[in-house]
Amino acid sequence: MTSYDRLFIGGDWVEPSSSSIFEVISPTTEELVGSTPEAQVADVDRAVAAARQAFDHGPWPRMAPAERAAVLSKAAEAIRNDMQGISELISNEMGSPVSWGLLAQVLAPTMILDYYAGLGSSFSFDTVKDGLLGPVLVAKEPVGVVAAITPWNVPLFLAVAKLSPALLAGCTVVFKPAPETPLDANRLAEILAEAGLPKGVLSVVPAGREVGEHLVNHPGVDKVSFTGSSVAGRKIGAACGANLKRVSLELGGKSAAILLDDVDLETTLPLMMPNAIMNNGEACISLTRILAPRDRYTEVTDALVEQVRALKVGDALDPATEVGPLVAERQRDRVENYIRIGQEEGAKVAIGGGRPEGIDRGWFVEPTVFVDVDNSMRIAQEEIFGPVLSVIPYDDEADAVRIANDSEYGLCGAVYGQDNDRGLAVARQIRTGTYMVNSNIPIDFSSPFGGYKASGVGREFGEDGLELFLEKKTINLPAGYTPAV
Ligand code: NAD
What span, in angstroms and rounded, lies between the C-alpha atoms of 143 and 26? 38
Share of the chain above pLDDT 70, in %: 100
Q: Give mean pLDDT, residues 230-250.
A: 98
**Per-residue pLDDT tens digits for 81-137:** 999 999 999 999 999 999 999 999 999 999 999 999 999 999 999 999 999 999 999
Closest CA to 65 of 465, 459, 466: 466
What span, in angstroms and rounded, lies between the C-alpha atoms of 45 and 40? 9
Mutate to test the pocket of ligand 1, among 216, 227, 231 (most ligand atoms within 8 A of CB): 227
CB 176 within 8 A of CB 147: yes
Query: Residue 40's pLDDT is what?
Result: 98
Query: Residue 485's pLDDT is what?
Result: 85
**Per-residue pLDDT tens digits for 202-223:** 999 999 999 999 999 999 999 9
Q: Count CB-CB contacts under 10 A for residue 320.
A: 10
250 assigned to active site: yes
pLDDT of 43 > 90? The answer is yes
Q: Give mean pLDDT, residues 241-257.
A: 98
What span, in angstroms and rounded, lies between the C-alpha atoms of 252 and 81? 32
Closest CA to 225 of 465, 472, 62, 52: 465
- The Å distance, Cα 276 to ligand 1 centre, comes to 20
Q: Count CB-CB contacts under 10 A for residue 428.
A: 9
**Per-residue pLDDT tens digits for 317-334:** 999 999 999 999 999 999
**Per-residue pLDDT tens digits for 170-206:** 999 999 999 999 999 999 999 999 999 999 999 999 9
284 assigned to active site: yes
Share of the chain above pLDDT 90, in %: 99
- Catalytic one of 38, 250, 282, 397: 250
Say if strands 145-149 and 223-227 run parallel, antiparallel, or are unpaired.
Answer: parallel
Instruction: Give the pocket of ligand 1 (CB within 6 Å).
Output: 149-154, 158, 176, 178, 208-209, 212-213, 216, 227-229, 232, 235-236, 250-253, 284, 383, 385, 411, 451, 456
- The Å distance, Cα 179 to ligand 1 centre, comes to 11
Q: Give mean pLDDT, residues 338-348.
A: 98
Could you tell me how many residues make up the chain?
485
Give the pLDDT band of residue 366 (cuts 50, 70, 90).
Answer: very high
Q: What is the 3-state secondary structure (H, E, C) of the chain?
A: CEECCCEEECCEEECCCCCCEEEEECCCCCCEEEEEECCCHHHHHHHHHHHHHHHHHCCHHHCCHHHHHHHHHHHHHHHHCCHHHHHHHHHHHHCCCHHHHHHHHHHHHHHHHHHHHHHHHHCCCEEEEECCCCEEEEEEEECCEEEEECCCCCHHHHHHHHHHHHHHHCCEEEEECCCCCHHHHHHHHHHHHHCCCCCCCEEECCCCHHHHHHHHHCCCCCEEEEECCHHHHHHHHHHHHHCCCEEEEECCCCEEEEECCCCCHHHHHHHHHHHHCCHHHCCCCCEEEEEEEHHHHHHHHHHHHHHHHCCCECCCCCCCCCECCCCCHHHHHHHHHHHHHHHHHCCEEEECCCCCCCCCCCCCCCCEEEECCCCCCHHHHCCCCCCEEEEEEECCHHHHHHHHHCCCEECCEEEECCCHHHHHHHHCCCCCCCCEECCCCCCCCCCCECCEECCEECCECHHHHHHCCEEEEEEECCCCCCCCC
What span, in angstroms and rounded, lies between the C-alpha atoms of 166 and 68? 10
Q: Which residues pair with 146 in a beta bridge?
A: 173, 223
Question: Where does residue 140 fall: left (phi above 0), alpha (psi -120 to 50 degrees), or beta otherwise?
Answer: beta
What span, in angstroms and rounded, lies between the C-alpha atoms of 7 and 262? 56
Query: Residue 184's pLDDT is what?
Result: 98
- The Å distance, Cα 151 to ligand 1 centre, comes to 5
Q: Count CB-CB contacts under 10 A for residue 392.
A: 25
Compute the Cα dihedral for 208, 61, 197, 463 and give only its sign.
Answer: positive
